Structure 1
Amino acid sequence: MTHSKHTFDNQLVLVTGGARGLGEHLVRAFLREGARVVINYFKSSDAAAALAAEAPERALAVQADVRDKAAVEKLFAEAQAHFGMPITTVVNNALPAFSFNGDARPHADQLSWENMNQQLDGIVRGSLNTTQAALAGMRELGFGRIINVGTNLFQNPVVPYHDYTAAKAALLSLTRTMSQDLGPDGITVNMVSGGLLRTTDASAATPEAVFDFIAGATPLRRVTTPAEFADAALFFASPWARSVTGQNLVVDGGLVKN
């Protein structure tokens, strides 16, 4: 595999949940660096179409529920047919319906297995589906990049979102075990973990006082933005990370030391 194959202009990047929130910033970051990008969306068709229209030669919006294995396989086939190459890089960002509202979260005594399953289904099953759908194309190229979006909440559960955090912790485990399994194929698997981001659709319910509290406790004295997070995610897809796999990079202004 030549060094040039690692560069962004040779990559076809899938961003799940790419139409809005953090996903939109991830899409924009990869487009800015010259990659081709598949913007996966579940319900946000207008936002996905508008984003794709900003770079019509290099972006394609494709609807799929990442929990649905057949739908994900269809997305991969559609992307390959459109761009004439397999997806090389998968960013597992899609988030099942969830609001970062500490007051509305299920507390310890109300937490149901349905709450847990809903998050596991979206976060872990979704990422497993995309990873498995990517393997044939990545193996054919001898190159692949899987980037999972995590959270710093399992190191610092400042708000105990039990269901969301458990699913992300399972995804960290899958990041490590998949990196072990797929390394011989030239496929790296890493995680980028943010804290509270200022601001995404998911964190819109967070009170200003919480943002201010987090900022005050953070070494950089501010809450990380989605654009800053997206820039850090680029590292794992870049040539500079070609020998990095199975890692979890925390991007939160230094709040959590990993």
Structure 2
Amino acid sequence: MKLKDQVVLVTGGSRGLGAETVKAFAREGARVIINYYQNEEKAKDLEGMFVENALAVGADVRDPAQVQSMFRQAKEHFGSPVTTIVNNALVDFKFDPVANKDAFAVGWEEYHQQLEGAIRGALNTIQSGLPDMKELKFGRIINIGTNLFQNPVVAYHDYTTSKAALLGFTRNMASDLGKYGVTVNMVSGGLLKMTDASSATSEEVFQLIESSTPLKKVTDPAEAADAILFFASPWARAVTGQNLVVDGGLVMD
């Protein structure tokens, strides 16, 4: 299915990488659901940029009832079911190396919160969209990871562990859903400049990344969004269960 024929849900779509992903799909003619949790104003502003192709819907991805309602709203609004899911939502986390809790201080509650956002959130969206994808014999699911679980330059214990678990989740879903024409992949960016989540990161850290990266630059959200589009496009129709690291070559897998 061409990008212009897809109905795309982007969770956490009001800001940062999510917003750039919304813009990238909308530019290709896709119809896009901008999911937001707290940033209604930003989501509505983004919706206004692509009036015919966008719909902003508030929902907590950790709540299955809210997610199911969002899928129903999208299907009613666009007259077609969701074909493509980008699991991008990040719940209550900032990349702040100063405030980050170390091994002595991090508690299970922090792990649980990030696992709820990453794994439960992705499970809820996939299970809500799967019946229609199975009927269509087509689906594209792209989960958003991180290069930190391969190279934890900062030990964000809770966040990084949840994203490592998301890779296992991605590959199990890919194995299970391929028979229905559904591909499941992951895009793992590095620290992106600049998003709300990375706003607490110092310029010194960005400079260190820049000097350590073969391309000698920090990846920006629009560049990562283009990689997400690849997995949704016909060019990736034979690709599933993969993790594409988009960080300018900082981590070479």
TM-score of the two chains, using structure 2 as the length reference: 0.99
Which amino acid in the other structure matches residue 184 of structure 1?
K
**Aligned residue in 1 for 2:41:** 46
CA distance in 2, matches of 1:211, 1:88: 36
**Aligned residue in 1 for 2:210:** 215
CA distance in 2, matches of 1:62, 1:137: 19
3-state SS of 1:221 partner: coil
**Aligned residue in 2 for 1:120:** 115
**Aligned residue in 1 for 2:59:** 64
CA distance in 2, matches of 1:73, 1:23: 20
Shift of residue 256, structure 1, vs aligned partner: 0.5
Please list the CA deviations of residues 43-65 of structure 1 after superposition, one character each: whole Å capped at 9, or x if unmatched. Answer: 11111111011111110000000
The answer to whether the aligner puts 1:104 opposite 2:99 as a matched pair is yes
Which amino acid in the other structure matches residue 66 of structure 2?
A
Shift of residue 21, structure 1, vs aligned partner: 1.2
3-state SS of 1:189 partner: strand
Shift of residue 22, structure 1, vs aligned partner: 1.1
Shift of residue 199, structure 1, vs aligned partner: 0.6
3-state SS of 1:167 partner: helix
**Aligned residue in 1 for 2:148:** 153
Q: Counterparts in 2 of 1:10-25, with a 5 A limit? A: 10-25=5-20
**Aligned residue in 2 for 1:3:** none
CA distance in 1, matches of 2:145, 2:44: 26
The answer to whether the aligner puts 1:184 opposite 2:179 as a matched pair is yes
User: Once the two structures are aligned, what percentage of the paired residues are identical?
Assistant: 62
Shift of residue 116, structure 1, vs aligned partner: 0.3
Please list the CA deviations of residues 112-166 of structure 1 after superposition, one character each: whole Å capped at 9, or x if unmatched. Answer: 0001001001111001100110101101110000000000001100001000001
Q: Which runs of 5+ in 2 are unaligned?
A: none
Shift of residue 75, structure 1, vs aligned partner: 0.3
3-state SS of 1:85 partner: coil
CA distance in 2, matches of 1:92, 1:33: 19
CA RMSD of aligned residues (A): 0.5
Shift of residue 9, structure 1, vs aligned partner: 1.1
**Aligned residue in 2 for 1:249:** 244
Runs of 4+ in 1 over 4 A off after TM superposition: none
Please list the CA deviations of residues 217-238 of structure 1 after superposition, one character each: whole Å capped at 9, or x if unmatched. Answer: 0000110000001011100000
**Aligned residue in 2 for 1:35:** 30
CA distance in 2, matches of 1:9, 1:208: 38
Please list the CA deviations of residues 59-90 of structure 1 after superposition, one character each: whole Å capped at 9, or x if unmatched. Answer: 00000000000000000001001111110000
Which amino acid in the other structure matches residue 132 of structure 1?
Q
3-state SS of 2:19 partner: helix
CA distance in 1, matches of 2:96, 2:145: 18
3-state SS of 2:113 partner: helix
CA distance in 2, matches of 1:56, 1:160: 41
Which amino acid in the other structure matches residue 59 of structure 1?
A
Q: Which runs of 5+ in 1 are unaligned?
A: 1-5
Which amino acid in the other structure matches residue 79 of structure 2?
G
Which of the residues 194, 201, 205 maps onto 1:199? 194
Which amino acid in the other structure matches residue 206 of structure 1?
T
3-state SS of 1:146 partner: strand
The answer to whether the aligner puts 1:135 opposite 2:142 as a matched pair is no
